[in-house]
Amino acid sequence: MTVESTAGRKPRRTTAKRAGAKKPPAAAAASAAAGQPELVQLLTPEGKRVEHPEYSIDLGPEELRGLYRDMVLTRRFDAEATALQRQGELGLWASLLGQEAAQIGSGRALRDDDYVFPTYREHGVAWCRGVDPTNLLGMFRGVNNGGWDPTSNNFHLYTIVIGSQALHATGYAMGVAKDGADSAVIAYFGDGASSQGDVAEAFTFSAVYNAPVVFFCQNNQWAISEPTERQTRVPLYQRAQGYGFPGVRVDGNDVLACLAVTRSALERARRGEGPTLVEAFTYRMGAHTTSDDPTKYRRDEEREAWEAKDPILRLRAYLEAEGIADAAFLAALDQESEELGRHVREAIRLMPDPDTTAIFENIYADGHALVDEERAQFAAYQASFAEEGN
């Protein structure tokens, strides 16, 4: 069994810091020096382009501006949703703050015919798929439990039961392979989900059937209050080794690296070479959800350290240094952001509550006698108030 890690290099153990690591390759020096395994990086936190021996990317100015725009608008949408929760318009919101690069980079690596199985935090990926952002709010407002047609954008419903979707993605990918199609499937999940049996089973099934699926794990360091060390003793990407497919850790705050690594993994799937595990090493800058209080379990200094690696700021630094983003572009984007915020605010306030009969709708495709009976009972009960009112 060969470990196809980032660049054919030997993965480093988490204990390397204490044991005293050997001098790492130059490209990974920064991260390895901090006692972490090497990770693929193409854009440093300071916004400096660096090369990687295995992963490269060559984007034109338009594409680079496009990635920047995607991340800025996604963050704006996310901030608006958080604000709407505070204003009582949403019952809950799961913020993606800090994970924009992981989501936009991987999302923009996809083709239209690829299929996405998200968690409940993939607002940036949904953006890349062309899902109307206001559609994402329905379940958080409590007007539906999903609410979009997964087939119209090849973007499955948000999945709340942690890790379940990894198996759906694997099965879908097995179907793709049966069809002889060259599409690929991507399953999103987090560091917490890596402990779930369903994720382990998805690894097994995808490996033995050589399914064209990419497992994109956003390791944002926290599963609500539990750090990654509570989920694993080895870097998560190394889990792939035991299943017989490659794993790679990418700088999850580097949109270029996320794009390059995901694209490579998707191409590998298309070529019929089976699954890949991508661990996007990132950070959940906000709370788990609006109901969470991270001050109970983590230090401000940690967040501050990650703020220095912000995915948007580093791309902006690069774009400005290269003269790719000028003041006019940035001003126009600011305006577009504000318009998006306004659009979302207006849309949420116009979003109607569902009709009460929705309780009984779409439970079965072919109908069910008990549902029919209870729907009729409910209608009669409701109607009885109208009669009393008369």
Name the site residues for other proteins (rule: CB under 8 A).
Answer: 144-152, 156-157, 159, 161, 164, 166-176, 178-179, 197-198, 201-202, 204-205, 208, 361-366, 368-371
Between CA 240 and CA 265 the distance in angstroms is 13
Q: Can you tell me the distance from the alpha carbon of 126 to that of 21, in angstroms, rounded to the nearest whole number?
A: 40
**Helix 61-86 and helix 133-141, axial crossing angle in degrees, nearest 10:** 20
Specify the residue, 29 or 363, whose C-beta has the smaller distance to other proteins. 363
In terms of Cα–Cα distance, which of 140, 301, 122, 133 is closest to 216?
A: 122
Element (H, E) at 247: strand 247-251
Q: Which of the residues 168, 288, 314, 316 is marked catalytic?
A: 288
- Going by the DSSP 8-state scheme, the letter that residue 355 receives in this structure is P
State yes or no: is 156 an active-site residue.
no
Residue 5 or residue 276: which is nearer to other proteins going by CB?
276
Question: Which string of DSSP letters, residue by residue, matches 115-176?
Answer: EEE--S--HHHHHHHT--HHHHHHHHHTS-SS-S-HHHHTBPPP--STTHHHHHHHHHHHHH
Residue nearer to other proteins on the CB measure, 297 or 364:
364
292/18 Cα distance (integer angstroms): 33
Active-site pick, 49, 86, 111, 297:
297
* Closest distance of CB 204 from other proteins, Å: 5
Closest to other proteins by CB, 176 or 325:
176
Q: Kindly state the smallest distance separating residue 335's Cβ from other proteins, in Å.
A: 34
Choice between 144 and 231, CB closer to other proteins: 144
Q: Is 278 helix (H, G, I), strand (E, B) or coil?
A: strand
Q: Any catalytic annotation for residue 288?
A: yes
Largest CA distance in the chain: 85
- Are the CB atoms for 311 and 255 separated by under 8 Å? yes
Residues contacting residue 26 through CB under 8 Å, at least 6 positions apart: none
CB of 331 to other proteins, least distance (A): 40
Q: How far is the CB of 115 from other proteins (least distance, A)?
A: 8
CB of 157 to other proteins, least distance (A): 5
35 or 175: CB nearest other proteins: 175
Spatial contact of 215 and 276, defined as CB atoms under 8 Å apart: yes
User: Residues 12, 75, 284, 314: which is the catalytic one?
Assistant: 284
Shortest Å, Cβ 152 to other proteins: 8
* 268 classed as catalytic: no
> Between 327-350 and 61-86, two packed helices, what is the crossing angle to 10 degrees?
40
Residue 388 CA neighbour count, 13 Å, CB half:
6
| Active site (catalytic) residues | 284, 288, 297
